[in-house]
Amino acid sequence: MTSIIERGRATKSVPPAAPPAKTPAWGGRRGVHRSSNGQKAVMAISGAVLVLFLVGHMLGNLKIFLGAASFNAYAEWLRTVGEPALPGRVLLTVTEIALVAAVLLHMTSAVALARRASKARPVRYAARRRSQARGYVARTMRYGGVIIALFVVWHLLDLTFGVVNPEGFAATPYDRVVEGFAPARWPVTLFYVVALVMVGLHLRHGLWSAFQTLGLARGRTRNLLSAAAAAFSAVLVLGFLSVPLAVLIGVLK
């Protein structure tokens, strides 16, 4: 009797487990923009927009070495670009809104990816050196981002709106730049230098991360792309720094 019962138990059928729910290709209800790949794409596109702006802004700043008339004319062109086909400042306002949106998207994507990476890696790295290196990069990007944000606010109040500039808004753009970086205001220039170094570090890290994400940093191209990211960032930073340093040493006055 026992053997019959045991055989009955052994041969008793077990209902099959329900198949796992399929995840939609576009990330389900959360949407592709909230997936890791979506966040990386948003961060890459917004970062590319900001890089293009930085390059254009640096080239425009260098016009100051052509003289006050050339620089003031360039500043006026920026203010009235698109006229008379479009009402005054429309194109400039649209550009400013796009830049603000790019900054916000870049920041929120970076925060989302950092949180996701932290949740996926609750245990510390066994290799202390690797952990320290990653921690250094994370701290540099975090605090560098804060410094850059504060610098952008000050930069706008100083050279764009003239609120904290000694010459005020009524002065020409050339005069605001010269007075803004005058030797007596060396702390402002120092802050400018620190912020731009942070921009360079941030840019170099972003370019290198983009190369890795795209799968380009392999084999022989690894060192080449690393050097290219560093060189591009250095040229951009030096281009921006040339203006305040030229004012500080008396080349521009």
pLDDT at 120: 66
User: Could you give the C-alpha distances from 186 to 84, 106, 110, 239, 250, in angstroms and in order?
Assistant: 41, 31, 33, 19, 13
* Residue that wins the pLDDT comparison between 246 and 10: 246
pLDDT at 23: 45
Average pLDDT over residues 86-101: 82
Q: Look at residues 157, 221, 227, 222 and name the one whose alpha carbon lies nearest to residue 191.
A: 157
pLDDT at 33: 53
pLDDT at 133: 47
Tell me the pLDDT tens digit for each residue of 108-140: 887 887 787 777 665 554 444 444 445 555 566
- Phi/psi of residue 30, nearest 5 degrees: -70, -25
Could you give the residue ranges of the DSSP H alpha helices within 156-220? 173-180, 186-213
Q: Look at residues 48, 50, 252 and name the one whose alpha carbon lies nearest to residue 149.
A: 50
Q: Look at residues 110, 75, 198, 100 and name the one whose alpha carbon lies nearest to residue 148.
A: 198
* Residue that wins the pLDDT comparison between 189 and 214: 189
d(CA 47, CA 203): 9
pLDDT at 73: 95
Tell me the pLDDT tens digit for each residue of 16-75: 555 555 544 444 445 555 677 788 888 888 888 999 999 999 999 999 999 999 999 999
Tell me the pLDDT tens digit for each residue of 152-191: 899 989 988 889 999 998 999 999 999 999 999 999 999 9
Q: How many CB atoms lie within 10 A of CB 242?
A: 17
pLDDT at 31: 52
Q: Which two tokens stand for residue 48?
A: 């590319």
Total residue length of the chain: 253
* Exposure on the CB side of residue 217, measured as CA atoms within 13 A: 14
* Residue that wins the pLDDT comparison between 242 and 27: 242
User: Could you give the C-alpha distances from 57 to 63, 219, 230, 238, in angstroms and in order?
Assistant: 10, 35, 19, 13
Pick the CATH number of 36-119+130-248 from 1.10.10.60, 1.20.1300.10, 1.10.10.10, 2.40.40.20: 1.20.1300.10
Ranked by mean pLDDT, the top range of 13-27, 192-206, 216-230 is: 192-206
Region class of 124: left (phi > 0), else alpha (psi between -120 and 50), else beta? beta
pLDDT at 245: 95
Average pLDDT over residues 87-102: 83
The answer, as to whether pTM is greater than 0.85, is no
User: Could you give the C-alpha distances from 83 to 14, 200, 237, in angstroms and in order?
Assistant: 77, 35, 32
User: Could you give the C-alpha distances from 101 to 15, 31, 45, 49, 95, in angstroms and in order?
Assistant: 53, 19, 12, 10, 10
In which residue are the tokens 């700043």 written? 61
pLDDT at 121: 60
- Residue 73, H or E segment: helix 68-80
